[in-house]
A = this chain, B = another copy of it.
Amino acid sequence: MTISVNVRERVLHANEAAAAALRERFAATGTLVVNLVSSPGSGKTTLLETTLDALHRSLRVAALVGDIATERDAARLRATGAPARQILTGGACHLDARQLLQELDAAPFGDLDVLFVENVGNLICPTAYDLGEDFKVVLLSVAEGDDKPFKYPAIFARADVTLVTKTDLVPYVRFDWAEAVGQVRALRPDGRVLGVSAFTGEGIEAWVEFLRERLAVKRAAFARAHEPLGAGA
């Protein structure tokens, strides 16, 4: 949408305040928050099904799913046994922090180890909206082509991790792995790139391990913040 810089700044400013409130809340419970962004149909929900399935017996995990319409994705995720709820954006092309705050106030999940936020399917609009997350993940399916990072640079620059999804389709599509990774590295030199297929299970272990590492870092920070004065060294 072409709107004035002033309006855009006011909207983003209001979002930042809500994101800060969310971040404070998540810090108080040591909850790792992961914001998943991609085009429609890159496999966010399928990846989350697999991820929740891998984690929900050992960790307190939940998901919030943004969509323009339908409650289908949250229903799919609840089938894993993990709690999941849908946020309908009423036409908006991304989630914003105020929607998360309202949703979590209205129906808290309780203390969580990891909260996954599945954004609205869109490579552009969610980029500028901080949801109080620890990091963003961008998904790119091999069926979409290897030229997408340079065409949608902002999200690839801001995501700590690029998940190249549907790697089982590599034999059937034109996808140059070196080209895609080269574009991501140019935009985000310290970014991680992981290939995954929720269909064959390829790469899922590395992705889950990555999440456990980031949770360990978050917990260490949480422990330091809550240790008694004078404890430790």
Chain A residues proximal to chain B, CB less than 8 Å: 1-4, 7-8, 11, 39-42, 67-70, 72, 91-94, 96, 98, 120-125, 140-141, 143-145, 147-148, 150-154, 166, 168-169, 172-173
Q: Could you tell me the dominant secondary structure of chain A's interface residues?
A: loop
Q: A41-B145, A68-B153, A122-B125 are in contact. List 9 more A-B contacts (CB 8 A).
A: A1-B1, A1-B93, A2-B96, A3-B11, A41-B140, A68-B154, A91-B154, A93-B125, A125-B125
User: How many copies of the chain does the oligomer comprise?
Assistant: 2
* A151 with B72: CB separation less than 8 A: yes
Hey, which chain B residues are within 8 Å of A143, CB to CB?
Answer: 41, 141, 143-144, 166, 169
What are 17 A-B contacts defined by CB distance under 8 Å?
A1-B3, A2-B96, A39-B41, A39-B144, A40-B123, A40-B152, A41-B148, A68-B154, A69-B151, A72-B151, A93-B93, A93-B122, A122-B123, A125-B125, A141-B143, A168-B172, A169-B173
- Give every chain B residue within 8 A of A1 (Cβ-Cβ): 1, 3, 8, 11, 92-94, 125
Q: Which residues on B sit within 8 Å (CB–CB) of A124?
A: 68, 91, 93, 120, 122, 125
Least CB separation from A171: chain B residue: B172
Which residue on chain B has the smallest CB distance to residue A169?
B172
- Residues in B whose Cβ lies below 8 Å from that of A140: 41
A2-B122 CB under 8 A given contacts A39-B39, A151-B72: no
